[in-house]
Amino acid sequence: MSLVVRVIPCLDVDDGRVVKGVHFENLRDAGDPVELAAEYYRQGADELTFLDVTASSSHRQTMVNVVTRTAEQIFIPLTVGGGVRTPEDVDSLLRCGADKVSVNTAAINDPTLISRVAERFGNQVLVLSVDARRERGEQHTQSGFEVTTMGGRKSTGIDALWWARRAEELGAGEVLLNSMDADGTQQGFDLEMIRAMREVVSIPIIASGGAGKAQDFPPAIAAGADAVLAASIFHYGKVTIGEVKDELRRAGYAVR
């Protein structure tokens, strides 16, 4: 585990606005991404993550503009994901101010994307986003956790732990572990999933999905996460970055 725990607000961006829902459905407006990013920077966020939830070509330039404007105002690492399909997409985002880029569906379709990006830009640039849930129906995986796409709505049949381990071998520098079962529920992080992932990868794990109160964050670190990510509770003012860091300090973890 990293020496210092990172607290990362996540901004899901749709056509230039931050949105949030439950299990990626019933999305509602949560504000201007640049304004929210500046506020989280003021509160002491360690990093920021932008996810382009539509990721269509028609919205690509909007996202580039959002990243550019944000990078001019904040001075902490910025990760951008959504619709990244080629090393050229990565290059474009890095040039407009991103520090790291996350990949998901495109890497599932073509795992060589991971190695191509890592070889060109370094593995510290590449974050593997894993949208995982407990297997359902006829899909069976060795770990019981499967990779999904389309915001958890489409099953791939791929074992989530196997996929993260394979991505690490290919050059991924971090795993953003999104629990689709917990996403938006505010009932706490999926500790079982975090523990299982920690057993199979050595790269940093960013835990995502389920945070509802400041007290939810220390257990995620105890389970093996190196960083914690949340969206709704920050966007709607339920919890501040400072309150999360205070709770982590009380639990004995080092934070900036």
Catalytic positions = 12, 131
Q: Are strands 17-22 and 6-14 parallel, antiparallel or unpaired?
A: antiparallel
- HSE-CB of 151 using CA atoms within 13 angstroms: 16
Burial (CB count <10 Å: 0-12, 13-18, 19+), residue 95:
exposed
Spell 206-243 as b/e; 16+ CB within 10 A means b: bbbbbbbebebbbbbbebbbbbbbbbbbbbeeebbbeb
Tally Cβ neighbours within 10 Å of residue 25. Answer: 11
Q: Name the DSSP class of 225.
A: -
Closest-CA residue to 13 (of 46, 37, 42): 37
Closest-CA residue to 78 (of 54, 59, 101, 107): 101
- Residue 8's SS3 state is strand
Q: Which helix (H) or strand (E) holds 95?
A: helix 87-95
Can you state the percent helix, strand and coil of the chain, rounding each to 5?
A: 35, 30, 35
